[in-house]
Structure 1
Amino acid sequence: MKTFPALSSSLWMVWLAANLVGLGCSRQATPPPTAKSEPAVDAVLRAEVVELHPQAWPMTVRVQGGLTADEITVVGAKVAGRVAAVQFDLGDAVPSEAPMVTLDRTEFELQVAQSQALLAQARAAIGLAANDDGVTPVPERSPAVLEAKAVWEEAATRLRRLQRLREQNAVTTEEYETAIAAEKVAESRYASALNGANEKVAIIQVRAAELDLARQQLADAVCFAPFAASIQQRHVAPGTYVQVGNPLMTLVRTDTLRFRGAMPERHAHRLAVGQQVRLFIESIAEPVEATVTRISPTIDPMSRALTFEADVDNRAGRLRSGLFAEAEVIVDPRATALVLNAGAIQEFAGVEKVWKMVNGEAREQVIQTGERRSEAVTIVDGLQSGDIVLTDASIGRVARVEATLVEQAGGNFVSTETPDQASPDAPTTRQIHGG
């Protein structure tokens, strides 16, 4: 009878028991889990730090709008006529009072000549020469009035003579009454002559006005520019017949442009004339400075915004009317805020952090940022005045910090020491303990 199977079974049981004992010892050697500990402090970190204090951060409101011409006008015809010449075309610069469109002047010149003849006729009727333009007609000096006045004076003299003779009974009653009637008739004829002279003087004034009107129409046959501007559109060509009021030229003045924007209702109370405006135009690299000059008295009920205008100097001519622009209106130039350079802020998965000094060590601090201007960023939450943070978040880690304090101006970090101030043997860093 063989005993090998039994021996093999015994060896297998011994091997299994030994492994179980070893496994138990291994589990007992593993220490029990403990509570989560604070991150270990690394070696000393040499870094620049900045102490936060409120800085000047003018409050701005960003709005959208467009540039419009300072003046735009459609120049129309003042008289009817046929266009004889057009002196300017699209885009031309037109000086003030420069002739732009000329109508055929022949008919207007004939009207002037006719009015001159009628005026001369009226003057001759009252005894004035045609060239006596500077002489004011006097009705009492007209020939008809002088004649009637002489007849009246003669009748009055005869009547006075008969009155003296009647007292002496040298004339009959019939002769005396005839003299009275003749004097009254002469007086009436004088009054009639004077009225006729006044009428002729009035006719002279009418003819003079007609002559002035004819001359004005002759002058209006040439259309002049009301101000220095550029031609936006030409509406006529030589040979076109125009009626009174028909458009001839469209002029725009662009040496000064107007930015027209709409301030949201929630900021409307902050808007005031004289505030500075920075315009950002896609075709212009640098911002364009402007000033708020006009504000609407009412808020638009549809957009719930307040319309305003800012004058833009465009004497260089690099801007065009109609350009779209975004504007930053400085509504509170004295506002302040906590500001950091963008390099001091670390962002990951939408979470923004800085490395804040706490008891001489660098610790992560979650923050919330606000407005960004160039490399400067405002801090809305997470930090307060007096906090000290690393200026370079990329080197931040949990460690004790040997810090060099720098100052901050407008989001830029500036060292507080200069090479002239520091001696060769003086240390360039010092320990700073954040709160």
Structure 2
Amino acid sequence: MNRSIIIAIVIAVGVTAWIASGQIDFGGDSEDNASGAAAATQAEGSAAETTGDAKNKPKIMGVRYQNFTAQPREQEIIVHGRTEANRVVDLKAEISGRVKKVHADVGDRVKAKDPIVSFDVKDNQARLQEAQALVRQREIEFNAAKKLNKKGFSSDTTFASAQAQLDSAKAQVTAMKIRLNDLVITAPFDGYIENRYAEIGDFVKDGNPIATIVESDPLLITGQISELQVGKIEVGSEGSAKLVTGETVTGKVKFIGRVANPETRTFRVELEVPNEGYKLRSGVTAEITFKASSVKAHFLSPAFLTLNDKGVLGLRAVGPDDVVEFHPVRILADTPDGIWVDGLPDTVRLIVVGQDFVRAGDTVKPDLFVAEAAQ
């Protein structure tokens, strides 16, 4: 065989055996490749861990706040009620008789003791004169019995009888004078005639109504105050009322009930106001405002109010360490310029921008809100 062919065969067999042994490395040393793969795996794990930490870390929210300080404010208690006359009296006949004269008509103003209706005197005046004549007779008899008793010509019993007869005659005169006075129905106080039921010629029995007289100066404005607020006002304190007819009046508390209405658990309260000339009418709807003791409160915009997760009305503020706090508040008064609330600390940093995007316990990045920032 040709030497060249033999050499070629030997070389081919050797190369084949070498390849089969697995000693060929197309990417470098195998140990170095293993180290590189491990490093790559570790780098990927570190990157994944860093990404997870970034996702779990809470995001700090930026908010704006304003500083607020509490101010003394007089509390106002608003009660709905109505006007009432100070006194309303139905005058009634005390004796039976026929109406002889009417002195006052419906709507007339009267003074105390002014006559309103007069009854026919008839024989009452004659009966008074008869009683007076009897008194004069009894006085003569009494004086005579007295002299005789002193001289011992008359017993003590006879003297006592004369004394009793004189007293009885005087009592009859007094009764007749009262009867004559009852024939004239007079006004018990200053007021005006709201109704008159008797006319000239009417025969009125005792106990029948004659007229209704009303005293509305001063005027009362009454309402019902809740059991939670009744202790905040007292008799003599100031108050005001706005009537549905447009008038605004001021006065003082005249009466506060001691017993609550069993159905509403409220107490009657009366505000007494002047009503010169009877310009204000009774029975008109009114809104009464009472002045109560002063409290510390904050004046702010209603736009700052928010609700917590339970639906409680309040305000969010920046507390220590820039942690959000929620303060439930109560609205004391609502004005065109803002609202008065209580329930906050004396000094507080209220969140005025972003309060609806944070919750109590969140850490925030606060920034002082100034007027220029809003323009």
Decide: shared fold, TM above 0.5: yes
Distance across 1 between alignment mates of 2:217 and 2:256? 21
Counterparts in 2 of 1:116 and 1:370: CA distance versus 1, 3 Å: closer
Alignment partners' CA distance in 2, 1:97 and 1:293: 26
SS at match of 1:266: coil
2:188 maps to 1:226 = yes
Q: Please state if 1:68 is matched with 2:84.
A: yes
1:325 equivalent to 2:286? Answer yes
Aligned length: 298
Distance 1:377 1:247, change over 3 A: same
Q: Distance in 2 between matches of 1:353 and 1:275?
A: 32
Q: Report what 2:309 is aligned to.
A: none
Contact 1:338 1:385 in 2 (8 A): no
What letter is aligned with 2:224?
Answer: A
Q: Counterpart of 1:278?
A: 240
Whole-Å separation in 2 of the counterparts to 1:346 and 1:120: 91
**Alignment check: 8 A CA contact 1:83 1:240 kept:** yes
Alignment of 1:264-343 (within 5 A): 264-286=226-248, 288-331=249-292, 333-340=293-300
**Counterparts of 1:335 and 1:239, CA distance in 2:** 66
Mind listing any 5+ residue stretches in structure 2 that lack a counterpart?
1-53, 307-312, 319-325, 353-366
Structure 1 stretches lacking a partner, 5+ long: 1-33, 42-48, 127-136, 150-186, 358-364, 391-399, 405-428
Q: In the alignment, which residue of structure 2 is the partner of 1:418?
A: none
Separation of aligned partners in 1, 2:256 and 2:215: 21
* TM-score calculated relative to the size of structure 2: 0.65
Whichever residue aligns with residue 91 of structure 1, its letter is G
1:262 aligns with 2:216: no
Is the Cα–Cα contact under 8 Å of residues 84 and 239 in structure 1 kept in the other structure? Answer: yes
Tell me if structure 2 keeps the 8 A contact 1:83–1:103.
yes
Partners of 1:368 and 1:109 in 2: CA distance: 77
Deviation of 1:268 (Å): 3.0
Alignment of 1:115-130 (within 5 A): 115-126=131-142
1:266, distance to aligned residue in structure 2 (A)? 2.4
Query: What's the TM-score, normalizing by structure 1?
Result: 0.57
Given candidates 212, 215, 218, the residue that maps to 1:250 is 212
What is the CA-CA distance between 1:212 and the residue it aligns to?
2.1
Q: 1:83 to 1:230 in 2, by over 3 A?
A: same
Structure 1 residues 122 and 374: CA distance shift in structure 2, 3 A: same
Partner of 2:35: none
Amino acid at match of 1:202: A
1:240-291 CA distance string (max 9 Å, x none) = 12223322121111111222222112223334223332322211254x2232
Counterpart for residue 237 of structure 1: 199
Judge conservation of contact 1:51–1:389 (CA < 8 Å) in 2. Answer: no
Structure 1 residues 39, 303: CA separation in 2 closer, same or farther (over 3 Å shift)? Answer: closer
After superposition, the CA RMSD in angstroms is 4.3
Q: Is the CA contact 1:275–1:291 (under 8 Å) kept in the aligned structure 2? A: yes
Candidates 122, 134, 139, aligned match of 2:145 = 139
2:322 is matched with none
C-alpha separation in 2, matches of 1:115 and 1:369: 77
The 5 Å alignment of 1:305-384 reads 305-331=266-292, 333-340=293-300, 370-375=331-336, 376-379=338-341
3-state SS, counterpart of residue 228 of structure 2: helix
For the 8 Å contact 2:121–2:180, the answer to whether it is kept is yes
Verify the 8 A CA contact 1:367 1:379 in the aligned structure 2.
Answer: no
Shift of 1:86: 1.1
CA contact (8 A) 2:254 2:270 kept: yes
Q: Give runs of aligned pairs for residues 106-117 of structure 1, distance below 5 A.
A: 106-117=122-133
1:44 matched to which residue of 2? none
Rounded Cα–Cα distance in structure 1 between residues aligned with 2:174 and 2:343? 78
**Identity %, equivalent residues:** 22
Change (3 A) 1:222 1:39: same
Alignment-mate amino acid for residue 241 of structure 2: L
- CA offsets, 1:167-191, max 9 Å, x none? xxxxxxxxxxxxxxxxxxxx7xx34
For 2:71, the aligned partner's letter is: Q
With over 3 angstroms needed to count, the CA separation of the structure-2 counterparts of 1:65 and 1:401, relative to structure 1, is closer
Partners in 2 of 1:209 and 1:382 — Cα distance?
A: 77
Q: Secondary structure at the match of 1:106?
A: coil
Instruction: Quote the Cα distance in structure 1 between the aligned partners of 2:110 and 2:273.
Output: 21
Query: Contact 2:145–2:154 at 8 Å: present in 1 too?
Result: no
Shift in Å, 1:323:
1.6
Distance 2:96 2:77 in 1: 52
